[in-house]
Amino acid sequence: MNHSDTNDLVDTRYDPAEGPVVTTFIRYAVPSVLGMLAVTSAGIIDGIFIGNFVGSSALAAVNLAQPAWAAFAAIVFMLAVGGSVMCGRFLGQGDHDAASSIFTRTLVAAVAVGVVIAGSGLLFLDELVRLLGATQEVKPLVVAYMRVVLIFAPVFVAALTMDYFVRADGRPVLAAVGLVAFAATNIALNTLFIVYLDWGIVGAAWASALAEFAIFLILLTHWFHPKCSLKLMLARGRWRDLLDAAWNGFSEFINELSVGVIVLFFNWVMITRQGVEGVAAYTIITYLMMIGLEVSYGVSESLQPTVSRNLGAGKPERIRKFLLTAVCTVFFVGLLVSTLLVALPQQMIGLFLRSDEQATAVIALIFISYFWPTFLLNGTNITLASYFTALHRPVPSAIIAVSRSLVLPGLGLLLLPLWFGDPGVYLAIPLAELLTLVLAITLVLRINPLGAAKVEGKHNGNEGEV
């Protein structure tokens, strides 16, 4: 089937460059958000199973492993997001060969990186666990969990990369179905491995690892569908173009890596000041934070195909409308989540703990009382960073990402506890998000998408040459 036949099959009602803004946004955002919520629910249910059937030490072990996983995922996100945005621009210009070329190179590079990093992690696992700050109490749990997760990491990398390109290729519903399948499989396997087989934290790791095959197999079907515009193609293009894509996705790298670094800092601070119970309490906060964060990430990811397509088509007014719609959506979600946490903190924390884990519960309750304003702010910051990535403006995107997820939280953790004690630890993230929001709004007001879109529009005839 040639490209003209493929294009005839595309429903133009939801075309990012032609369809109604709100309807098209909903078409892309709702599946993305539902998919993210599915993954979030799987992670939260992981925490519920681990906290209730294994214990708070296992919760702490999972969080201690998180920085290593974030560093690994950071590189994959950089390649997948940067490559898919470039792919979306080429698709908006009608250059399917260039889009296929960047897809192929991104997939090959991401899987290769996944194999190398996972292999290195397994080879030096004991040293890595010590670096993560695991005490003798939780070290065996961290080692057991990470060993399984790392073995299956290349499958996760391939599935994650394919997810972004399926969205860019105009099938956000399929991408969401893959994420829902991942979540459902993970929940079912958690029930089997942890509750019935009593495998403990290793069961949680196996459940996550095997669930990755579900999303991989579902997304693979896209390349056998008549609406697929992408194919494996190494004949055209240069590997240097992958560097351009990676640079555009650099803010995603900074964001994900910074999350890992800050979690590492938090773990060090909490385990020093409050022991394993403090780390477990922080783990519960991160599970609760996932609800608002993943919705925001789902909305922001819907901006990448919609904005990049309009950038390629030279339509800046539509870019502004998509941005405004996304920002209003994430703020409403943040308001809803923060209200829920303020109104029902004990019930939310109780989901993750047995009744005898009172020390951890008290710390978590205090943490929430300071932390809840974060949800009013972080969604907008995430969305604005993604907006600049979709505009092929990696520098302002990276500035927002590194400010909210590394520089400002790091300074907060360094200075605020000296002035305010434990409340300073809890306030580090909310204050960082507030200062980042001021910076992000300033960048949006100073950088006009009209100029970027005009440049893209002038070169629509030749920028597809890779």
Which of helix, strand or coil describes residue 138? Answer: coil
How far does the chain reach from its first CA to its final CA, in angstroms?
Answer: 23
Domain boundaries, the chain: 13-458
368 touches 349 (CB < 8 A): yes
| CA R_g for the chain | 22
The interaxial angle of helices 21-53 and 56-93, nearest 10 deg, is 160
The residue written with tokens 């293009």 in the block is: 237
Return all residues near 24 (Cβ < 8 A) that are at least 6 apart.
Answer: 14, 15, 16, 306
Return all residues near 267 (Cβ < 8 A) that are at least 6 apart.
Answer: 63, 64, 67, 132, 133, 279, 282
If you average pLDDT over residues 257-263, what whole number do you get?
75
Tell me what pLDDT residue 3 has. Answer: 40
Tell me what pLDDT residue 437 has. Answer: 93
Tell me what pLDDT residue 1 has. Answer: 40
Per-residue pLDDT at 383 exceeds 80: yes
Per-residue pLDDT at 10 exceeds 50: no
If you average pLDDT over residues 302-306, what whole number do you get?
70
Length of the chain: 466
Rounded Cα distance between 185 and 39, Å, is: 11
Tell me what pLDDT residue 435 has. Answer: 95
Name which of 186-195, 309-318, 328-337 the model is least confident about: 309-318
pLDDT tens readout for residues 28-43: 777 777 767 766 666 6
| Residue, of 186 and 6, whose pLDDT is higher | 186
If you average pLDDT over residues 298-326, what whole number do you get?
72
pLDDT tens readout for residues 437-464: 999 999 888 876 655 444 444 444 433 3
Per-residue pLDDT at 139 exceeds 80: yes
User: What is the pTM for the complete model shown?
Assistant: 0.63
Rounded Cα distance between 161 and 248, Å, is: 15
Which of helix, strand or coil describes residue 17? Answer: coil
- Which pair of structure tokens corresponds to residue 22? 């709100």
Rounded Cα distance between 157 and 151, Å, is: 12
Name which of 46-60, 105-119, 197-211 the model is least confident about: 46-60
Among residues 244, 264, 311, 207, which one has the least CA distance to residue 105?
Answer: 244
DSSP class of 432: H
Tell me what pLDDT residue 16 has. Answer: 62
Name which of 83-92, 149-158, 287-296 the model is least confident about: 287-296
Strands (E) located in 415-461: none
Per the prediction, the chain carries an average pLDDT of 78
